Structure 1
Amino acid sequence: MNTLKEHGLPSDMTLVPSQCVQLWNVMKKHMGNNSPDGFDKLDPDIYFRDIGYIVKDDADRYEQELKKVFINYARDDSTNKIIKSTIEELGTEVKNRFVELESTATDGLDVYGDKFPEVGIMPLLYELSAQDKLPAILFHFNREGCVELALQILKQLELGEEKKRANNPEYQNKKKDATCQKENHEKETKRKRDLKTKGNTTQSEYYSEIEEHDPDFTFINRKDQVTSEEFEKIIESARQKMGNNSELLMALERGIGVHHSGLSKKYLSAVEILFRRRHLRVVIATGSLALGINMPCKTVVFVGDSNFLTALQYRQMSGRSGRRGFDPIGHVIFFGITLTKIKRLLMSELPSLSGHFPLTTTLVLRSFNLLNQCKAKNEHYNYAKDIIKGLFGKSFFCLGKEYLSEQIKHHLRFSIEYLMRENLLDQNGNVINLSAMVSHLYYAEPSNFAFSVLFKHGVFHKICSKLRTNSSQEVMDELVLVLSYLFNRVRLRKISRNLNTHSKYPSKVILPPLPEDVNYILKSHNERVLNIYTDYVITYARNNNSKLGPDNILPLSLIEIPFKSMDQALLKEDPLISKLESMAISFVARSPFIAMCSSLGDVFVDLEDLTNHTHSEIFLDFHSIPFIKTDENINAYIYDFFSHGQERALVEANGLRFGEVLQVCIIILF
C-alpha cells in the first residue's frame, strides 16, 4: 500500500478488459452507496453505453481512467481504506493458492527447492495441454538444469508409455506379429542374399507403425506435426553432430526441445525450426532465448527462482507469450517462486532505455579506414559517408537531447586530433603506421592504443632483444608482465586482497610494478590524452555556454539551488564582494559544486577528475578515452598462470571462479 501511494502502479502494467471489470466491481462492492463523485461514471455499463462498437482504443482509455482513479483513491486518506480492502480481496485467492501449494508438500519436499520442478513439472504440462495453453516456453536459469529437466520429462513419458503398452494386449499382439514378420524377413533376406527384396517397404512401414509413440505420451499436436521425412531432414545435421542415441533428439520426437547457448548450433537451429512449425510444443530455455529469436508461444513458465530473474528479464521473457494473430492473450506462470518475489517482479519499474554514447576513438579510426577503402576501390563511397553521418549525427543517443549532437561533433574533432598526434592519421585523413593493428584490436580499447604507443617506442623490441644476455624465462616474465597491464585487466576482488590467507599458494596475486621506462611512456601518453580532452571540454563549454545553462542541481539529491540575482551597482560598491570577485578563479567547464571546494578552475588533475567533475550537461565517458591506469592494483592471474598454471591457486589466491579458469586459459593461449 505504501509503494502504491508513493510510486503508483508501474507504467508498463496493463489490465485486460476482464480485469478492469473485476477491479471496478470489487471497488464498488467496498464503497457501497457512498461512492465518491465521478466514480459511478466508470461503471462499464454506463461508460460504454453510448459507444456502439467497443474497440481496443476505447478499452485502453477506460483502463487508464480506472487506474488513475485507483491511485488517487489510494493516496486520499478518506478513501484509502476502500483500496486496501480491494487489494486484500483480490489477493485472497492468490494467497490461498500458495497456502494450498505449500500444504501439499510431502516427505519434506520444499516447493521452492531445486527438486520440486522434477516432481511437479509433468502435472503442470498435462494441465497446460488440457487447457489448450501449449506451446509453452519454460525459462530456467541454469544450462544443466534445462537439460536435466527435459530428460526428466522424457524419462517420465517413456515410463508411462511402457507401462501402458505392457498392460495393452492388443499392442502386445501387434508387436509380436511385427517381430515375427521381421524375423521371417531377415531369414528370407539372408537366404537370397539380396537386400532389395520385394515387400521390404511394406514390412518397414508396418514395423514403424508399431514403433510410433503413443499420442498420450507426447506433447505433439497431430494436426501440426511435421511428417517423418520432414522431421528427419530438419534434424539430419544435428543427428550427424550428436549421434543417433542422443536423448535430446529423442525428446524432439515427443515435442520437447532445449535451447541454450551451450548446445550445438545445428541442434538449436532444429529446435527453432520445429517450434515455429508447431511440431515442438514444450521448449526449456535459458534467458538467451528472450533476446532476438522469433519463437512466440501461448504460455511462458518461469521454473524456479534465480538471482538472474530480474524485473527486466521478466518483462523480456513474458513478452514471448501471446502470438500475434493467433492468441488474444498470453499466459505467464510462476513455478517454484515465492509470492514475495512475484510481487517484486510485477511491481518493479523498468529501467529507462537510453542509448550508449556512440563515439569512441577506435570507432573514429575504423570509420576513416572504411572511407579510405571505399574511396580506393571506388565502391560504395557515398553509402559509407551516409552511414557515418548518421552514426555521428542524429544517433539514438541524442533522442530528446538535441544539444548532444553538437557535443558529438566537438568530441569527434578532438578524437581526430589525438589520432593525428599519435601518427595514426595523416593530415588528409588517411590511416597510417599502426592504425590497422589498433583497428583490429578494437575489442580491447583502450589497451589497443597503449599497445600501439609501446610498440612505437620499441618497448617489445627491447624486451625481446634481451634474449642475447638474459634467459628466455626472464624475457618471457617481463613480456607477460607488460601485456598483463594492457589486456584482460581484472581489478582485485576482496577475496584476493588478504594475502596472508593465500601465502601457501605460488601466486603473486598483485601484479608487480611495470618497468620504469614502460611506466614513463604510458604516463606521458596519459598526459597527452588529458591535455587533448581538456581542450575539448573547455572549448565546447565556451562555445555553448548559453545552451548548457546553469549547473545548479545537486547530482544525488537532485535538489535545485536557486540563483540569486543582485544589483551589479551594489556589488561594485561593496568592497568585500569586489575583492572576492577579483580573486575568484574563473571556470566554464568545471561543475560549480566542485569549483567551490577547490581552487583549480578549469585545470584538471587527471582524467578521472575531468570525466567526473565537469558541467552536468557535458558528457564525457571515461571508458571512451584512450587512457590506461598504471597505478591501481591489478589481478596477476595472467602472470601467475604463466608462472605455475595451477587451477586451485588461481581460484583460491587470485579469486577467479572455477568456471572462469578454463575460459581465461583459452583467452590467454589463443
Structure 2
Amino acid sequence: MEDETNAKVFFPTSRQFVLEHMVNVLRELHHREMGPVIVFSFEMEMCTDLLRALVERLEAAEAAYRTTDEFASYAATIARNAAAAEAQRRQRLSTMKQKKLTKDEDGNVTRNERDMDMAEDAAGAGGGGEGIALIEGETVVPEVLPEFTFVVPNRAIDVEVVQRALQDCEEGGGGDNLLGRAIRRGLGLHHAGLKGKVRRQMEVLFRGRHCGVIFATETLALGVHSPCRAVVLAGDHVRLNTTQFRQMMGRAGRRGLDFLGHLVFLGISMKKITRLMTSGETIIKGNVQVDALTQLRVLQLHDYLQHRGRDAKQSDIIRRLLSLHNPDWESHITSMV
C-alpha cells in the first residue's frame, strides 16, 4: 500500500507533476475570475498533452455529473420549461388565428391564408404575441454544460465565427478531433506544428474571449496580439531565460482592462524562479560580419563625401565606423583624417 501511495507522488519539477496539477491551477484562476489565461510551454508535445489531459478530465467529470440525481432534476426542469414554452406557442398561435378571422359579403367567417401563414411563422419564432409572456429559462439541455468549460462570460464573438473555427479545426485537428472537443470547452492550442489557418482561428477565438485558456509555445509571445489576464509557465526548460521570461510575462495584463497581470510558476524550481525574477535585461550585441566588399564600399562612400566637401556628413560616418572597433578600419580612417 505504501508503494502505491508513493508512486502517485511526483517531483514538483517533473512533467507528471505539471500534468497532474494543471487542472487545479486553471480551476483556481477561473474561480477567481483571472481569465483569460495563456499557458506557456516550450515543447509542442507538452502543449498537446496538457490540452488532452484537461479535455479528458472535463469530459469525465461531466459524464459523471450527468449520472447524478442533481442533473436528473435539472433535466426534468428543462423538460418542463420546454413543455410550457410549447404550450404557450400553441396558445399564441390559436389567439392570432382567431384575430385573423374575417367575414365575407354573405356574412360567413373566412380566413386570410396569407395572414395565417404569417401568424404561424410569428408563433414559431416566439414573437408577436400580445399579453402572453414567455417563460424565462432554458428549454434545451446544452450539449456541453457550461460548468465544465472555460468559456469566458460575456464573450465578444459571434456564433458563426465559432462554428467556422470549429469546422477549420476539425479538418486539421487529427483523428481524435482534439481541437474540436477543446474549442467546445473554451480551450485552445497554438504552436508551430499546427496549420496557419488553425493558428489564426485560435487567435481569433482567444481575442474574442471564447477560449478562456490557450496552451501555447513561445510563438504566441512574439509578435502576436494576444493579451490576457494571467500567464502560467508550465515546466522548466533550457530555453527559459530572462528574455523569454520577460516576453511571456508581458502578456499578462490587458491595457485598459486590468490594473495588473498575474503570473503563475508551475513545475519550476525556486532557484530558477529567483534567477528569472532578479536578473537584469539581456544586453543584445550585434555580430555583423564585415567582409572586404563591405569595407571597400564604405571607403568609397567616405572618399566621395570628402571630395564633395560634406564635412558634417563625413565626420558622422567616420564616428560610426570607429564605433565598430575594427582594427583595419581604425588604422585606415585615422590615416585619412
TM range (shorter): 0.5 to 0.7
Select the residue among 97, 104, 115 that pairs with 2:16: 115
CA distance in 2, matches of 1:236, 1:404: 59
Residue in structure 1 matching 2:240, options 309, 320, 327 = 309
Query: 5 Å matches for 1:40-55?
Result: none
Q: Is the 8 A contact 1:235 1:267 kept in 2?
A: no
- Is contact 1:166–1:172 with CA below 8 Å preserved after alignment? no
In structure 2, what is the equivalent of residue 169 of structure 1?
72
Structure with more relative contact order (C-alpha pairs < 8 Å, separation 6 or more) = 2
Could you tell me how far apart the structure 2 residues matched to 1:114 and 1:301 are? Answer: 15
Letter in 1 for 2:72: P
* Partner SS state of residue 232, structure 1: helix
More strand by share: 2
Which residue of structure 2 aligns with residue 344 of structure 1? Answer: 275
Deviation per CA, 1:183-230: give whole Å up to 9, x if none: xxxxxxxxxxxxxxx99xx8xxxxx94343111100012311634322
The answer for the alignment partner of 2:308 in structure 1 is none
Contact between 2:189 and 2:214, CA under 8 Å: does it hold in 1? yes
Is 1:405 the counterpart of 2:320 in the alignment?
Answer: yes
Percent identity of the aligned residues?
A: 30
Q: How does 1:183-262 map to 2 (within 5 A)?
A: 209-224=140-155, 226-242=157-173, 246-262=177-193
- The separation in 2 between residues aligned to 1:149 and 1:342, in whole angstroms, is 22
Structure 1 segments unaligned to the other structure (5+ residues): 1-103, 178-197, 203-207, 365-393, 395-400, 412-532, 545-670
Contact 1:151 1:248 in 2 (8 A): no
Matches for 1:53-64 after TM superposition, within 5 Å: none
Aligned-pair CA distance for 1:313: 1.0
CA 1:210–1:344: 2 relative to 1, 3 Å: same
Partner of 1:557: none
Output the TM-score relative to the length of structure 1. Answer: 0.35
Unaligned runs of 5+ in 2: 81-119, 125-138, 296-312
Q: Which of residues 529, 532, 542 in structure 1 aligns to 2:335? A: 542
Q: Which residue of 2 aligns with 1:142?
A: 43
SS in 1 for 2:153: coil
Match of 2:215 in 1: 284
* Partner residue, 2:203: 272
Q: 1:240 deviation in Å?
A: 3.4
- How many residues align? The count is 257
Contact 2:151–2:211 (8 Å) recurs in 1: yes
1:343-393 Cα shifts (integer Å, max 9, x gaps): 1111112112445649778999xxxxxxxxxxxxxxxxxxxxxxxxxxxxx
Query: C-alpha displacement at 1:170, in angstroms?
Result: 3.6
Amino acid across the alignment from 2:29: L
- Partner SS state of residue 346, structure 1: helix
TM-score for the superposition, normalised by structure 2: 0.66
Give the C-alpha shift of residue 134 in structure 1.
0.7
**Following the alignment from structure 2 to structure 1, what is the Cα–Cα distance between the partners of residues 286 and 55?**
44
Q: Secondary structure at the match of 1:149?
A: helix
Compute the displacement of 1:271 (Å): 0.7
Q: Give the aligned residue type for 1:315.
A: R
What is the rounded CA distance, in whole Å, between the counterparts of 1:360 and 1:237 in structure 2?
49
Contact 2:189 2:202 in 1 (8 A): yes
Does the 8 A contact of 1:257 with 1:282 survive in 2? yes
Q: Alpha-carbon deviation of 1:105?
A: 8.5
Which position in structure 1 is the counterpart of 2:98? none
Which has the greater radius of gyration?
1
Distance between the aligned counterparts of 2:290 and 2:322, measured in 1?
Answer: 11
- Check conservation: 1:117, 1:336, Cα contact below 8 A: yes
Q: 1:126 to 1:357 in 2, by over 3 A?
A: same
2:264 match: secondary structure:
strand
In the aligned structure 1, how far is the partner of 2:142 from the partner of 2:158? 15
Distance 1:107 1:241 in 2: 35
Q: Distance in 2 between matches of 1:154 and 1:403?
A: 62
In the alignment, is the contact (CA less than 8 A) between 1:105 and 1:111 conserved in 2?
A: no
- On the 8 A contact 1:151/1:247 being kept in 2, the answer is yes
**Aligned equivalents of 2:244, 2:257: Cα separation in 1:** 24
1:31-73: CA deviations, max 9, x gaps? Answer: xxxxxxxxxxxxxxxxxxxxxxxxxxxxxxxxxxxxxxxxxxx
Q: How does 1:484-633 map to 2 (within 5 A)?
A: 538-544=331-337
Tell me how large the CA RMSD over aligned residues is: 3.6
Q: Aligned to 2:66, what secondary structure does the other structure show? A: helix
- One-letter amino acid of the counterpart of residue 40, structure 2: F
